[in-house]
Structure formats: C-alpha cells, structure tokens
Chains A and B, each alone.
Chain A
Amino acid sequence: NAGVTQTPKFRILKIGQSMTLQCTQDMNHNYMYWYRQDPGMGLKLIYYSVGAGITDKGEVPNGYNVSRSTTEDFPLRLELAAPSQTSVYFCASSYSTDSDEQYFGPGTRLTVT
C-alpha cells in the first residue's frame, strides 16, 4: 500500500493563477480531509469528505474548492491564488471517524508570490 499520496511536492504560483493539488489514497477509506499548516500553527481543516460525492466545509474553506468523484481521489482546487494561501497542504484519510486515526500524505508546499 502506498497510503496517501500527494502531488506536487512543491509549487510556486503567481497571484491570480489557479492550480489543483492532487490527493489519492489506496486504503479504501471513506473519509478524506484537506488541511493547511501555517508556520508555528497547527493544522486547520479546509474541506472534508465522508464518501464519494459528498463534501463539506471545514474551518478555513474560503478560496478553495474540492470534489470527490471516487473513493480514492480528493483533489483541492485553488482558483485565484493569493499570498495568504502560501502554506503547506496535507491530505489525510480515515476509514471512519470519531476514534479512527487519520493517515496523512507527505504534504505540498505552496508559495504564492
């Protein structure tokens, strides 16, 4: 099992550009999550999904969009990149919720200039 994979590892965007961060898991997990981590801060939830076709907002959803067309994939879309979106982005998955641990990908470091 590869677990949770994320691409790209690094990306530099200009203000106003758009991009999609890819996330794939091969553990047949129902739940998937996107977090961002700013320096010296904890992880903040952007969006999450409880299954294919179902997504919901987290704590900091503004400026992002997601889709979940398959169990395996959960891409995160930035439409108009802003410097405030400079961060490290982590995708995670879990089989269910409550006490189930989440498995994280290695992260994507995004810089918007």
Chain B
Amino acid sequence: DQQVKQNSPSLSVQEGRISILNCDYTNSMFDYFLWYKKYPAEGPTFLISISSIKDKNEDGRFTVFLNKSAKHLSLHIVPSQPGDSAVYFCAAILQGAQKLVFGQGTRLTINP
C-alpha cells in the first residue's frame, strides 16, 4: 500500500527552464509534507516543506504547492541548474506519528 506516490521515475529538463516534480498521496490525515534531495552515495538532505494549512511555500528557486482536495503536491524549481540533478523524494507525516512516509523518488536530470 503505497501511501505516497511519485509516478514519474525520471525527468529531464533543460538548464534555465522550470522543473516540476509531482507527488500524490492517499491518506488525507497527512498534515505535513517535505521534499528531500539525494545525490549518489550520499544521504537525503532536506529541501523544503509545507504544512497542510498552507497551499504554497517558497524558498529561493524552490516552491512547493499543495492541493489538498486533489491530494497532490508539486515541487517547482526555477530556473533549473545543473547542480539540481539528483533524486528527489516526497515525504509525508501524520501528526504525532513520528514517522515519515516516502515516495519512490524522481530522478531529475538538468541538461546544459
């Protein structure tokens, strides 16, 4: 039972363009969502998060949008840079559950 799904295993984007990574979830009780970035041979690092009471959170080139009615969130990166090439994981938390539930990840490749 995959509660958090990232349906695109990979995404290729030209440098300077917008990258949009998508994530869907099934549990309406999730109340906090996070995006992690992972380079090869390293652990994931936190990128940006959003509470379920918001629909948008922005941090520099990164913006996360949350559509609760559709149970969908997306990460926008603009402009995309070569250093953004990595695997991106979406994760969700149930309040008080103390556990992150991760999606499968999307490999983003930024082409020069």
Binding site for B on A (CB under 8 A): 4, 31, 33, 35, 40-45, 48, 50, 58-59, 90, 92, 97-99, 101-107
**Hey, which chain B residues are within 8 Å of A31, CB to CB?**
98
Known: A48-B98, A103-B46, A106-B41. 20 other contacts (CB 8 A): A4-B43, A33-B99, A35-B102, A40-B9, A40-B105, A42-B102, A43-B89, A43-B100, A58-B99, A59-B99, A90-B44, A97-B96, A98-B93, A98-B95, A98-B96, A99-B93, A101-B49, A104-B45, A105-B43, A106-B43
Taking the closest CB of chain A, its distance from the CB of B99, in whole angstroms, is 6
Q: Interface size class for chain B? A: 20 to 34
Interchain CA distance A92-B100 in the complex, whole Å: 11
Interchain CA distance A44-B101 in the complex, whole Å: 7
